[in-house]
Amino acid sequence: MKALSDCTVLVVDDTEANVDILVDALGELYDVSVAMDGREALESVGDEPPDLILLDIMMPEMDGYEVCRRLKGHERYGKIPIIFLTALTEVENKTKGFQLGAVDYITKPFEIAEVKARVETHLKLGLAEADLRDLVVKTLGGSIEVMTEILSVANPTAFSRTSRLKRHANALMTAFKLTDFWQIRMAAMLSQIGCIAISPETIEKIFSGQKVLVEEEEAYKRHPQIGYELISKIPRLEEVAEIIARQQDLQKNTGFQGDEQAQRLIQMGSRILKLVLAYEKLTYSGKSSVDAMAELKKSEREYGPKLLEGFSRIVESEPKTAQMKVRKIYPRDIAVGMVLAKDIITSSGSVLVKAGTKINPFLFEILHDSSKSEYSEETFEVFIPA
């Protein structure tokens, strides 16, 4: 957990005397930075958002209300606690601030003991919330990792893609500075959960571009709704469920009543998930990464030019198969981290693990401990980075 003394506080006030008082009061306790007007405050947030903002209301050009509104409307800065600094005492002014998302008020002239107490209280609350959020994310993430690893063996065609989907989703989130939104990563990992009742053969045909029966196509079209219904029952995964529901239809309406920030998260997460899934399907059917991106760019209006441009750079930077050596190894020599270059087929002819799957600890145990007579071939083919 982050130490209280390592916290950063941004003071925003157009009066130097007020700034001096607050810096003197807080400078020895925290890392304090200063902005003298609203525009400078928005610029100061930058790549390293402060842990708390002390924000004057009455400022020229852009007042504190407008600064607060813009910060709370931003995906990355919306959770920064804001304490308003004001000489105003009218109830309606305080109410407006709370409606915009402020957590507290400090009135002028300042009482130093009050300033220190309120800042410390809200920093501690923020640190506790971040610590709890981190614990929840790690717990949920670990549980979901285990579940998808098990499902990857039960239905390898559906679930062997999850590691690639998560990798591409993570890369896009990093490119657009959305690294705090764990819900998108989990949605990528759980996007195929609704396929559990669909046969691997049907999924194989659909992703390979083969002809399928009408009922098979309909069953596959229903999997986002099934996934949504399953995941929405788990507390704290409401946004994850909403993203999964929209992986084929971005305009799908489930009746979700979340706040504006949750709506934006779901909108962005759904577009990212649909994009990486579409790319996966195109490359699985045999298209090169270049041809797949050319096909996706035909739907620029749906995905958005910035998202497509960012994903194109990610795809171009990935190591190509031609730059990697394929090695044949015995099951006993398989190692965590290797990537399969060829499907692993059982002696009965069914696909156990799909090509392109990265070996995780769960698969390692299964492949390493099984008898080689259980597989159609004596050796596995894996990619080894050059």
Query: What SS3 state is found at 62?
Result: coil
Please, which residues have CB within 8 angstroms of residue 298's CB and are 6 or more apart in sequence? none
Q: How many Å separate Cα 359 from the centre of its chain?
A: 23
Structure tokens, 375 = 């597989």
Please answer whether residues 154 and 363 qualify as being in contact, where contact means their C-beta atoms are separated by less than 8 angstroms: no
- pLDDT score at 295: 93
* Environment class of 11 (CB within 10 Å of its CB; exposed 0-12, middle 13-18, buried 19+): buried
Integer CA distances (angstroms), 341 to 36, 88, 168, 352, 367, in order: 58, 68, 19, 14, 15
- Name all domains of the chain by residue range, CATH numbers in brackets: 6-128 (3.40.50.2300), 155-318 (1.10.3210.10), 319-386 (3.90.105)
pLDDT in tens, 93-103: 778 888 899 99
pLDDT in tens, 77-94: 888 999 999 887 665 677
Q: What's the mean pLDDT in 154-166?
A: 74
pLDDT in tens, 167-183: 899 899 888 877 668 88
Integer CA distances (angstroms), 248 to 188, 224, 270, 271, in order: 13, 7, 9, 9
CA angle 208, 211, 216 (to 5 degrees): 95
Of 254, 268, 339, 261, nearest to 303 by C-alpha is 268
Q: How many CB atoms lie within 10 A of CB 240?
A: 28
Q: Distance between CA 23 and CA 11 in Å, rounded?
A: 8
